[in-house]
């Protein structure tokens, strides 16, 4: 990859759904925080390429930011397989050891029919390789941003899961000729 790449990673807006649920790809975004969307829009580069996960909440957030993103499947959230659409408290109460075992090693464990965070990191690495030189905005998920930070900082997936990535936050990383640079993480712009 020739040239430097400057990435503005935005986590999508809060999901318009039941809190504590592993939301499906078609879960909508709650775009009611107009002040934060406008603040984010002011912080984005004007002539940047735009990318997003193909999931509904990221596409809706990107459009609310005035973007027309290229949809990149590699930027999708971690696939929780059979657990998608169900609530965490339900799992804790009914799934016993299977749910507890997953959280003992969430970087490597795979939910039934799903993927591990390590799998997501590998997938995000492929997606990042597709982005050329210049400035780019990515409207994606918290897991996608953690995966990008894992790659940029050469962290273990277990360590990357420690990052907090809030809805409508901005994370800035750059891919330079000499390696990656992290400019900011989980920034709430005003």
Q: What is the pLDDT of residues 116-146, one digit of tens each?
A: 999 999 999 999 999 999 999 999 999 999 9
Q: Say which CATH superfamily domain 5-187 falls into.
A: Phosphoglycerate mutase-like (3.40.50.1240)
pLDDT for residue 36? 97
Q: What is the mean pLDDT of the chain?
A: 95
Q: Is 15 helix (H, G, I), strand (E, B) or coil?
A: strand
Domain ranges for the chain: 5-187
Report DSSP state, residue 20.
T
Q: Catalogue the E-assigned strands of the chain.
A: 5-11, 49-52, 70-71, 134-140, 170-176, 179-187
pLDDT for residue 103? 86
Q: What is the pLDDT of residues 24-43, one digit of tens each?
A: 999 999 999 999 999 999 99
84's tokens: 């998608």
Q: Is 162 helix (H, G, I), strand (E, B) or coil?
A: coil
Handedness of CA 147, 7, 186, 91 (dihedral sign): negative
pTM as predicted: 0.96
Residues whose CB falls within 8 Å of the CB of residue 87, separated by 6 or more in sequence, listed in order? 18, 20, 21, 22
pLDDT for residue 2? 73
Residue 1 reports pLDDT greater than 70 = no
CB distance 145 to 11 below 8 Å: yes
Q: Can you tell me the distance from the alpha carbon of 52 to that of 63, in angstroms, rounded to the nearest whole number?
A: 10
């Amino acid at each position: 990859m020739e040239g430097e790449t400057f990435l503005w990673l935005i986590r999508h807006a809060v999901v318009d759904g039941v809190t504590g649920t592993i939301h499906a790809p078609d879960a909508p975004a709650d775009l009611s925080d107009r002040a934060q969307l406008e603040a984010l829009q002011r912080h984005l580069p004007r002539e940047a390429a735009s990318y997003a996960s193909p999931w509904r909440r990221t596409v809706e957030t990107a459009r609310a930011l005035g973007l027309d993103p290229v949809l990149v499947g590699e930027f999708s959230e971690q696939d929780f397989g059979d657990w998608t659409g169900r609530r965490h408290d339900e799992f804790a109460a009914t799934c016993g050891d299977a749910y507890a075992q997953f959280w003992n090693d969430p970087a490597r464990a795979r939910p039934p029919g799903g993927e591990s965070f390590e799998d997501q990191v590998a997938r995000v690495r492929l997606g990042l390789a597709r982005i050329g030189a210049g400035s780019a905005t990515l409207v994606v998920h918290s897991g996608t941003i953690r995966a990008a930070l894992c790659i940029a900082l050469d962290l273990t997936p277990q360590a990357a899961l420690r990052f907090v990535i809030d809805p409508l936050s901005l994370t800035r990383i750059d891919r330079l000729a000499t390696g990656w640079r992290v400019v900011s993480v989980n920034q709430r712009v005003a």
